[in-house]
A = this chain, B = another copy of it.
Amino acid sequence: MERIYLDNAATTRVDAEVLKAMEPYFTDDFGNMASLHAWGREAETAADKARREITKKVNGKEHRLVFTSGGTESNNFALKGIAFANREKGRHIITTKIEHDCVLNASRWLEKRGFDVTYLPVDREGFVSPDDFAGAIRKDTILASVMHANNEIGTIEPVRELGKIAHEHDVLFHTDACQSFTKVPIDLRKDSIDLMTVNSHKIYGPKGVGGLFIRQGVRIEPLLHGGGQEFGYRSGTVNVAGIVGFAKAVDMMKEKHIRNMEKMRDLLIEGALEIDKSWLNGPRGEKRLPNNAHFGFEHIEGEALIIHLDLKGIAASTGSACSSKSLEPSHVLTAIGLRPEQAHGSVRFSTGKETTKEQIEYTLEALRESVETLRKMSPFG
């Protein structure tokens, strides 16, 4: 049985060339960047080169890239670090209802520590309204955090507009770009971004590596205190091999890969919507992540569908309550106005640079069958 991986939004395969680029930093140039000797200098040179290359991709001339252990750490660092460092200025933070759990749960933690957080609603396609955003800004607002693209339904938020509004009101602007980085253009300067979260394992790089771009001059408190690595912003022995792999992954993402994701996504959307009582969540076209397809199927429970597809060798994901620890359906699907029974029947397919037309055709066939089988099993079918 061929196995078909359509869960690239969850994580990606490390590209063989990325692994090759990393290898010397495991076994040969394995030094600690903080060391004075040749091994230390080699490590530092490699990490600084990686830092420069990644920073160039997003026009980060006024920014410093601080390496972290991933998107979750970067988001926790950004929110808590800005909050604690600027609490004399104000205690109000703006974010949205559809952020990743790490932004939401860091925000909730800050609420318990005396901060006040506004969670902006979104429309049925998942868009934050710039008017709502502007309206939420208060005198004591210090930070706004709006994701660049949503990980479930693929909505690309109008960060340029939001960043501009934030800056007009002297509010720092952070965006979580874990899903969009290298896939959707972003420009730290033109998009008025003060802080941006990125990670490596969504773009064919290794897990356990991420970064936070920080505009120079922005006051932020470290999350990890210690030896003062990463310009004092993030202590801990730097994961040089991981960083080199991250930079290689960034370098390897080419236009043709994105075009392939997009084409496969569109084939999938077209085919899946031919299934009876199905619908697409999130927007169509330009404003959708190139690799995201997210469907609802009536009378279907998502976990059962995912496992059914899994038995046919196909990897996808669901926002169904049954698949989550909280037993609540996805907060994103709820935020776009789906009823619980609609959220339960949701499935996300995320295409990759290696996805083929044959794989999509096989997947559509399997999807049709599985939906039919499960509906037949159901008392509602």
Contacts and interface: CB of A to CB of B under 8 A. Distances in A.
Interface in A23-46: 23, 26-28, 30-32, 34-40
Interface string A180-213: 0000000000000000000101000011110000
Interface in A103-136: 105-106, 108-109
A236 B70 contact: yes
A62 interface: no
A152 to B, nearest CB: 13
A369 to B, nearest CB: 17
A225 B107 CA distance: 9
B10 A30 contact: no
A295 interface: no
Contact of A5 (B39, B100, B208, B237): B39
Given A207-B240, A239-B207, A315-B38, A75 B106 contact: no
B242 A208 contact: yes
A146 interface: no
A363 to B, nearest CB: 13
A327 interface: no
B11 A32 contact: yes
Interface string A306-339: 1101100111111000010110000000000000
A36 B321 CA distance: 13
A12 to B, nearest CB: 7
Nearest to A318: B36
B208 A73 contact: no
A243 B234 CA distance: 21
A247 interface: no
A333 to B, nearest CB: 16
A234 to B, nearest CB: 9
A208 to B, nearest CB: 3
Interface in A5-19: 5, 7, 10-16, 18-19
A32 to B, nearest CB: 4
A358 to B, nearest CB: 19
Interface of A: 3, 5, 7, 10-16, 18-19, 23, 26-28, 30-32, 34-40, 68-73, 75-76, 100-102, 105-106, 108-109, 199, 201, 206-209, 223-228, 232, 235-242, 303, 306-307, 309-310, 313-318, 323, 325-326
Q: Would you list the 6 A-B pairs with minimal beta carbon distance, nearest first?
A: A102-B226, A208-B239, A69-B69, A72-B236, A105-B225, A14-B26
